[in-house]
Structure 1
């Protein structure tokens, strides 16, 4: 790899840098000034050297080693072996004539030293995080400016188990309802309502709708199921464990924020508290459901951990507010006696819970209206639409049904409150309007399933649900833990 009295070839240096886990941007910064920003070398001394790659993605990787001088394949070596050979060969490389190489080596050493110092600082800060104390994790994230100090803001809700409610049926209904909504929403994800009508009609005959190709495989890697399993068997939110499970379950067609989070954690190897993308998306409001089932009888713990969970992938105030609002909405629904829901007071009660999380001041659109927030839509706009019994297409136009946090949860809640006792009547409108149908239908399905129970979900929905047993088992185990805590 490194030979006596001369520096290694550029391809070898790239492999050395990659083996030491330098990022693409760091490789470009270090090597750019020495090799003409990856331009081919035209000097006589390098006439036999292959042209350098034009981008970091074209670097010779472990599966595509560069050819050696004889035209054969260079054998793959372990990173430790590469570093060992480099260390042994460095003293034999003369400084005269190799100034660029030695300058590069010094740059590598400085960056490596910085990486070691940062890793040591992280290690020193984190021992208390994994003791299972959410308060300590929350304070840590607040100090790191990853989440707003939301715990002391807003009003409280009373959550307690009610005699006479079949909670096993409710827990199963919430989990299966969310999974069914996600499955059906995949079919119309990204479409407009007009596209959906042309393709599927009014969605009154659900068996005519077939899950999209690959929906079964997607369900087996569902973020909902991944978060559920990360909380089991002890019922403790370990942010590192949950972040990794969530990142591994991210799909290629998920939102940009989720994709960026997975890339940061798995590819760039950022720590869990730095991997999240600051995007105001509503995705965390979907996979917060397992935490709702686990903390169904403890409002403070639910609000605290829902905010922490949302911040793993989306440390944005709007995303955190949406996740807490959805968590509280599902929890209230779980404990609501059939026929007791008031469609006007229900969303209004959620708005004070998330008060102060989202910034009140912000840029105003040209219409002169205040910037949209989750709290404002839940407290004012949604009740006004429900009061005049606005049709679903009008609700979609007023509230929106995109991936933004201030659109997803209000529209999902509106779909549910229009028909709280009818699962199909709650989920199909969310599916039929397209947009971010997968997330919105999953949220509406969780709310409706938590209210009507698994027994209230039509069997025709459940027959085609992949991993049905996995979702049911997770709900059963979360119920046992929740009962023990409550």
Structure 2
């Protein structure tokens, strides 16, 4: 277990995500790495302004993208309500975000509007569909980018963590595989906030929660992924994700990060190994790898996530939360907090959320 306090780790996870979001604002979505280096130099080490004509043009270094804006909406709802209140979150989306959008990609707070939120706008604003009928099929990490605060809030209550994250995810993304991978990331983050290391044993801890019925994943193996006992009944599938594989990924990435025969050098090339695109199955392995390799070094994890190009903003958000949960807010370099727009109120919200964790 980590020697940082649980509240420090919780606040570190939240602020790590905000910092990752803002760090990716300028160099977001460069798939040509030569162009990225030409515009930002050989190594990005701080917040940067987006270039004219890019996804977040007009914003300034240290500001949040729309993903960060939505993350703050859910965080504010959690803090003010003291729990996950879906109706309150939906009301905030209806009044504070959707009226500012028009269904096009470059519109609204934070510059760029993601695919799942554009689909949400069409269903809520144009088609007048009720919440609950608004989920689409985007295969991206957009739900993770906001529900990570639910993972922090319910880190000590894994069944509630899984239920809240699944319920919030399907508001915008309803593919079962995407929902399962989103819940799995939240479960990983929850264990890190508790103080568990991101290592080859973490997935075993997650599987124990599955066996106890606290995480809704289907599994037929016995302990340590051994074959089922002869005559053992098939576990009920109702209400469960099809397989536990999303829970197994982080430990494989953690094992790879410490295996001397497996070297990704420099570490930013993790984006080339696992893929630069936006899809969740590219993003999660890279984030888990960086968070395991640099488990005690927030700056290195963050900068390698950003310098890998492609969907580096999501990669930095996800890795930033995972490493922030391991080092705690107290060990995030001060310069990243100083350069983050509205850092003081964001820190206040993160600390207030951390103080609520013990409550069911």
TM-score range, shorter chain: 0.7 to 0.9
| Contact 2:134-2:171 at 8 Å conserved across structures | yes
Whether 2:356 is the aligned partner of 1:481: answer yes
Alpha-carbon shift at residue 291 of structure 1 (Å): 0.9
Q: Which residue of structure 2 lines up, in the alignment, with residue 326 of structure 1?
A: 185
Partner of 2:297: 422
Q: Which of the numbers 187, 196, 199 marks the counterpart of 2:26? A: 187
Find the residue that maps to 2:128 and give its secondary structure. Answer: coil
Residue from 53, 56, 59 that aligns with 1:214: 59
The 5 A counterparts of 1:51-90 are: none
Of 254, 261, 265, which residue of structure 1 is paired with 2:120? 261
The 1:359–1:180 alpha-carbon spacing in structure 2 relative to 1, beyond 3 Å, is: same
* 1:347/1:379 contact within 8 Å kept: yes
Q: 1:225 aligns with which of 72, 77, 80?
A: 72
TM-superposed deviation, 1:377: 4.7
CA RMSD of aligned residues (A): 2.9
**1:482–1:382: structure 2 CA closer, same or farther, 3 Å change rule?**
closer
Q: 1:332 to 1:266 in 2, by over 3 A?
A: same
Match of 2:340 among 446, 465, 475: 465
Tell me the distance in 1 between the aligned counterparts of 2:204 and 2:304.
Answer: 22
| Structure 2 contact 65–112 (Cα < 8 Å) conserved | no
The TM-score with structure 2 as length reference comes to 0.75
Asked if structure 1 preserves the Cα contact closer than 8 Å seen for 2:199 and 2:254, the reply is no
Deviation of 1:385 after TM superposition, in Å, equals 6.1
Greater mean deviation of Cα atoms: 383-392 or 267-276: 383-392
Could you tell me which residue of structure 2 aligns to residue 411 of structure 1?
Answer: 286
Q: Is the 8 A contact 1:285 1:327 kept in 2?
A: yes
Instruction: Give the distance between the partners of 1:279 and 1:462, measured in 2 at CA.
Output: 32
User: How many residues get paired?
Assistant: 307
Q: Does 2:310 match 1:435?
A: yes
CA deviation after TM superposition for structure 1 residue 296, in Å: 1.6
1:447-470 per-residue CA deviation (whole Å, 9 max, x = no partner) reads 111111112111111112112123
| TM-score, reference length from structure 1 | 0.57
Residues 50-72 of structure 1: per-residue CA shift (max 9 Å, x gap): xxxxxxxxxxxxxxxxxxxxxxx
Cα pair distance change 1:481/1:230, threshold 3 Å: same
1:389 to 259, 263, 273: 263
Q: Report which of the two structures shows the higher radius of gyration computed on alpha carbons.
A: 1
Per chain length, whose mean CA-contact separation is higher, i.e. which structure has more relative contact order (CA < 8 Å, sep 6+)? Answer: 2
Tell me how far 1:484 sits from its aligned partner: 3.0
Structure 1 spans left out of the alignment, 5+ residues? 1-161, 361-372
Partner of 1:482, secondary structure, is coil
234-243 vs 268-277, greater mean Cα deviation: 234-243
How far has the Cα of 1:202 moved from its partner?
4.0
SS at match of 2:358: helix
Matched, 1:287 2:287: no
Q: Cα distance, 1:409 vs. partner?
A: 1.8
